[in-house]
Amino acid sequence: MPGANLTRIEAEERKAIVKGPIRYNVDLDLTQGDTTFVSTSTITFNAKEGTSTFLDLIADEVTAVRINGQDVAPEEVFDDSRIQLNDLKDRNEVTVTALCRYSTTGEGLHRSVDPSDGNVYLYSQFEVPDARRVYAVFDQPDLKAVFAFTVTAPASWIVTSNMPVSRTQDLEAMTMDGTLGTHPAETTKRWTFAPTPTMSSYLTAICAGPYAEWHTTYENEDGRTVPMAQYCRQALKDDFAKDVDYLFDITKKGFAYYAKTWGVPYPYAKFDQIYVPEYNAGAMENIGMVTIRDSYVFSSKVTDALAERRVVTVLHELAHMWFGDYVTMKWWNDLWLNESFAEFTSTLATAEATEWKDAWATFCSGEKSWALNQDQLSTTHPIVAPINDLNDTYVNFDGITYAKGASVLKQLVAYVGRDKFFAGIHNYLNRYGYSNATLADLLHELEGTSGRDLATWSKQWLEEAGINTIATDVAVADDGTIAALMLKQTAPEEHPVLREHRLAIGFYDEDQSTGKVVRTDRIELDVDGAATPVADAVGKPRPALLLANDDDLTYTKLRFDDDSLAFALDNLYRFDDALTRAVIWLSLWDMTRDAELAARDFIDTTLKLLGTETESTTFRYALSCLSTTVWHYTDPAQRAKTASRVADALLSLAMQAPAGSDTQFQLVSAYLSYGVEGDSRFADNVRGILDGSLVFEGLELDNNFRWTLTHALAAVNAIDEQDIDAELKRKDTTENREFALGARAARATKDAKDWAWNEAVHDETLTNSQLEAVAGGFAGTPNSELADAYVDQYFENADWIWSNRTFHMAEALLEGLYPRYADPAKLTEAGDAWLAAHQDADNALQRLIKANVESSHRTQMVAEFNASLGELNA
């Protein structure tokens, strides 16, 4: 559907024609069956006399179009996902009635059926521009409008939208066209919602179904009482009830923190949070009604990292009510204004307003590592990215837009000063409330409060891609004091910009009384250019470790001096501060990925860290990067032996971990990913945990953990399809069906992989979450022989997938089915050939493939490096 891929030029042209005030009256009839619904939208707007433009609409059928009082044959104006509007007047009214389709892909109006009770749940997801899947609309962020929704649905359902319900109407004695008579569905009701404030279409929302509900209120800083609600599926209500008061409390703390920090109270009429099934993202900031993936409703034990991530997600979406919703970017090139700010400020709020005080360590280990990975690909882009069309936007919901942008904002706060920064944000929100703004508008307000000229800063940090490296070069005098300390900055050849950094250098030594490594001194300074001398360090005793970017104030790669590196490798687990450990560990990981640190050294340091680490997200990512190192970066000739050694170490650490602890849970879970076909001892251990003969005190064998064990057995062919089916029969739920599909796809047989490939690519009855489960099971088995068989198939099918699936499903397939355990030489040869033959392919498709192929190039490079070191380093 080329018409669905709106270009920036088309959006600018339409903006020049369509003028406010714009108002939508949208009527949705959700009682017409299981596959489609009726959508009627009436749009009033001003325009230049005699001009032409178009509405966006993705629909099965348009049944009626009325333009300025004249009925128009739908086939004359509806084509290629657009409604053509010709010969416009100064003031226009257009009504479009269409038959639209429910999705099972998490796009538009998603319909999910819970197998545990048969309940049907609907929810909308409109970002980037999928409001057009539900009603006719000018679907671009700078054509803000007022929206009034009316929804007809079963009377037993709950229906929610951006605004409170203004009235409901019982339709027992009405036909579907609104006239009196016998109604074929006597139990329907019509909900009419209050008109919204002026807002962008991608932030509108409708949710409907028999959701369980909880309510409270918040006394807003402007004197209003704001109604609050939480919703989830009926099947999850008992588990959610345990957390709902806590989540209300977190949200209220967020309200207070943001209002105080920005000096702008929460601006909307209500605030709902609705936890929905089969969600594509973590959550979505619909005005007044945030949708959140219901995997955040915890029915089984989860890591503390995930529990903290839920808090950050709640606060992230709440931050959007101001930054993104109240003030919205004009076009998607300023998407970072939404996402970077929400990511930065939700981490700040988590650290300062909740019990998760180490949130910046979480950010460093989790989010920042994501950014560093993506910023070293050829597909990297400036934070303010060039966005030529909607497909460019889709692939920019990435580590650059979220994590790098948030890290750079943290750097900006250090650069201009916290008080001046938030004073500028206050002015920005007040000036552009309910309208659209650009990067230039934001910088103007920050320059006004800080007195800093931010043009150079913006050019370096926001408008240039790539990441710098800062290395520490130290000379020591005979008496053990520092004779000279130099910070040397470099940049990659393809992005040769040296940036100005505000950072701190930390001095770390062992505290003899505690045995911990602690900070003994700190120097904060500006770093600019290729070399920056640190005069204040001269004459100070040389510490055991010098840490540039102490407190993680800037965004950069780090390289240690030799003595500091040796100390870090031996003693990382002894550092007393979680953020310091995260900064050092991330640098060691980066060196490993760059083939500058032996895999053996990274593995040994990480295993020691896992014995004492208390910050759950650092622990989680250390386990993840340990796995990547073992299965991809080690010498292939020594890989099996290394994997066995690491698996034994993880099992031993798990046995020593405190009973019922997060550490124990993560270690056992990680161990379960190290099975290989034919390892009878591994299979016996997993069966032992499952049947109770191998006991980890305090480790509960709950639903999700049983499926983790089942998946582990499937991956080594220790159970068959019947065993998986039997596990599903114990409790047939939405989540467990996904677990079962993943387990079936994980089996290490050619038949299982063929089945999984065919299901993922061709079975369009799979929901987005089911497809992701199948793809994850398919590609997640560490068996290179099996993976090799799909290298050619992957690249042969890439074009078909891109052309025949929606963006989100194509992205899930192209990322999830990539046979990453195949021989990297085969992957790079086939991938390079595909890219050479597809230089004219859609930019978004090229980016997805390039990211995969370049990861294989890195795998090949790092594995060859470690092979060159010999057996002692394996």
Map out the domains of the chain as residue ranges. 1-209, 327-461, 598-701, 719-874
Give 705-759 pLDDT, tens digit per residue: 999 999 999 999 999 999 999 999 999 999 999 999 999 999 999 999 999 999 9
Percentages helix, strand, coil for the chain, rounded to the nearest 5? 45, 20, 30
As a whole number, mean pLDDT of residues 694-700 equals 95
Report the percentage of the chain scoring pLDDT > 90.
94
What burial class does residue 32 get, using C-beta atoms within 10 Å of its C-beta: 0-12 exposed, 13-18 middle, 19+ buried? middle
Tens digits of residue pLDDT in 507-537: 999 999 999 999 999 999 999 999 999 999 9
pLDDT one-digit tens code per residue, 617-675 = 999 999 999 999 999 999 999 999 999 999 999 999 999 999 999 999 999 999 999 99
Residues with Cβ within 8 Å of 38's Cβ and at least 6 positions away in sequence, in order, are 28, 29, 32, 97, 98, 99, 100
Give helix 843-868 / helix 807-816 axis angle, nearest 10°.
20
Confidence of residue 177 (pLDDT cuts 50, 70, 90): very low
Contact 612, 573 (CB under 8 A): yes
**How is the beta sheet containing 517-527 ordered, strand by strand?**
517-527, 501-510, 545-548
- Residue given tokens 């397939």 in the structure block: 813
CB-facing half-sphere around the CA of 661: CA atoms within 13 A = 17
The residue among 117 and 177 whose pLDDT is bigger is 117
Q: Provide the pLDDT confidence category of residue 187 given band limits of 50, 70 and 90.
A: confident
80 CB-contact burial (10 Å; exposed 0-12 / middle 13-18 / buried 19+): exposed
Instruction: For 372-414, write each residue's pLDDT tens digit.
Output: 999 999 999 999 988 999 988 888 889 999 999 999 999 999 9
Contact 319, 342 (CB under 8 A): yes
**pTM, entire model:** 0.95
Helices (H), ranges, 552-695: 562-571, 578-593, 599-610, 616-628, 639-656, 662-671, 680-691
Rounded-to-integer distance, Cα 45 and Cα 20, Å = 6
Counting DSSP H helices and E strands in the chain, the numbers are 30, 29
pLDDT the model gives residue 626 = 98
| Residue 197 preceded by cis peptide, ω within 30 | no
Question: What integer is the mean pLDDT of 458-469?
Answer: 95
Q: Does domain 327-461 have CATH number 1.10.390.10?
A: yes
CATH of domain 1-209: 2.60.40.1730
In the set 278, 317, 772, 811, the catalytic residue is 317
pLDDT at residue 269 is higher than 60: yes
Number of residues that this document lists for the chain: 874
Tell me how crowded residue 388 is: count the other CB atoms within 10 A of its CB: 14
Sign of the C-alpha dihedral, residues 190, 191, 195, 198?
Answer: negative
Split at pLDDT 50, 70, 90, the class of 176 is very low
Residue 721 among the catalytic residues: no
